[in-house]
């Protein structure tokens, strides 16, 4: 039997109530995520990790507002409030998260000119983070995803993981979404169609 890993996506202060890009109820999932962490042999976390002035921040584009979309060389990009700046309190994991068991923390979004939602590829869908190779080398073929946000980083991670040949379960009860214009429903639909097991 292949090994399984839990991947906890971006459970950071800035995505929780009071944070710069707060996801409604983002902190509510912490106890359930901690239960999952206890129940998995292998735990990996991702950490959104932007330099100040990152190109995904609305503040980096004169006249643009957060949550507007712009065209970047790699395709459309939603603009966000400044968030998860490298080393800031907002970029820390939620203080209640049992992060110590994580065997690997994948940081993403650290290149100024490109955003990265997925744990596997940046938003050009070509630049790898190295996670697929790491999992393969370790014999991990099945992953379970939880965390923030359902409709962005969790969903793009799930879609890329399936494309990379992993069996993917998404614990929707241990995720919360940003929900721009129905994006939660749309992305849950895409994950289901792609073959993710949603629970
Ligand atoms: C995320 C927007 C910007 C996420 C990260 O973790 O879903 N969303 N950066
Ligand atoms: Zn981000």
Instruction: Identify which ligand lies nearest to the alpha carbon of 154.
Output: 1
- Joined tokens for residue 172: 């929707």
| Structure-derived torsion over alpha carbons of residues 142, 148, 152, 155, reported in degrees to the nearest 10 | 20
Three-class SS state of 39: helix
- Joined tokens for residue 27: 């902190």
Q: Is the pLDDT of residue 188 over 80?
A: yes
Q: 57, 79 in Cβ contact below 8 A?
A: yes
Establish whether residue 10 lines the binding site of ligand 1, counting it when its CB lies within 6 angstroms of any ligand atom.
yes
Tell me how far the alpha carbon of residue 51 lies from the centroid of ligand 1, in angstroms: 14
- Joined tokens for residue 153: 């980083």
Q: 147, 10 in Cβ contact below 8 A?
A: yes
What is the spatial distance between Cα 62 and Cα 77, in angstroms, rounded to a whole number? 15
Residue of the CA atom closest to atom 8 of ligand 1: 152
Q: Is 0.95 surpassed by the pTM of this model?
A: yes
The pLDDT tens digits of the residues spanning 119-141 come to 999 999 999 999 999 999 999 99
Three-class SS state of 72: strand
What is the spatial distance between Cα 148 and Cα 9, in angstroms, rounded to a whole number? 6
Tell me how far the alpha carbon of residue 153 lies from the centroid of ligand 1, in angstroms: 6
The pLDDT tens digits of the residues spanning 9-44 come to 999 999 999 999 999 999 999 999 999 999 999 999
Active-site residue numbers?
A: 10, 108, 153
Establish whether residue 149 lines the binding site of ligand 1, counting it when its CB lies within 6 angstroms of any ligand atom.
yes
161 CB burial (10 A radius; 0-12, 13-18, 19+): buried
**What is the rounded average pLDDT of the residues 152-172?**
98
| Other residues' Cβ atoms within 10 Å of the Cβ of residue 122 | 20
Tell me how far the alpha carbon of residue 105 lies from the centroid of ligand 1, in angstroms: 16
The pLDDT tens digits of the residues spanning 42-94 come to 999 999 999 999 999 999 999 999 999 999 999 999 999 999 999 999 999 99
Percent of the chain with pLDDT over 90: 99
Lowest mean pLDDT across 1-5, 147-151, 183-187: 1-5
Q: Where residue 1 falls among pLDDT bands split at 50, 70, 90?
A: low
**Residue to probe by mutation, ligand 1, list 106, 109, 149, most atoms within 8 Å of CB:** 149
Q: Is the pLDDT of residue 2 over 80?
A: no
Establish whether residue 27 lines the binding site of ligand 1, counting it when its CB lies within 6 angstroms of any ligand atom.
no
| Other residues' Cβ atoms within 10 Å of the Cβ of residue 100 | 8
Establish whether residue 153 lines the binding site of ligand 1, counting it when its CB lies within 6 angstroms of any ligand atom.
yes
Tell me how far the alpha carbon of residue 138 lies from the centroid of ligand 2, in angstroms: 28
């Amino acid at each position: 039997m292949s090994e399984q890993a839990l991947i906890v996506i971006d459970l950071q202060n800035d995505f929780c109530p009071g944070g710069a890009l707060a996801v409604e109820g983002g902190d509510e999932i912490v106890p359930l995520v901690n239960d999952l962490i206890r129940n998995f042999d292998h735990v990996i976390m991702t950490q959104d990790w932007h330099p100040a002035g990152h190109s995904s921040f609305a503040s980096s584009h004169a006249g643009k507002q957060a949550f507007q979309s712009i065209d970047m060389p790699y395709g459309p990009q939603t603009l966000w409030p400044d968030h998860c700046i490298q080393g800031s309190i907002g970029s820390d994991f939620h203080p209640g998260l049992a992060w110590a068991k994580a065997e690997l923390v994948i940081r993403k979004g650290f290149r100024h000119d490109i955003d990265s939602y997925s744990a596997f590829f940046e938003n050009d869908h070509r630049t790898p983070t190295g996670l697929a190779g790491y999992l393969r080398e370790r014999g991990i073929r099945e992953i379970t995803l939880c965390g923030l946000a359902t409709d962005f980083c969790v969903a793009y991670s799930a879609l890329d993981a399936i494309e990379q040949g992993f069996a993917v379960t998404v614990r929707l009860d241990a995720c919360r979404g940003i929900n721009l214009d129905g994006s939660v429903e749309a992305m849950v639909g895409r994950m289901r169609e792609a073959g993710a097991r949603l629970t």
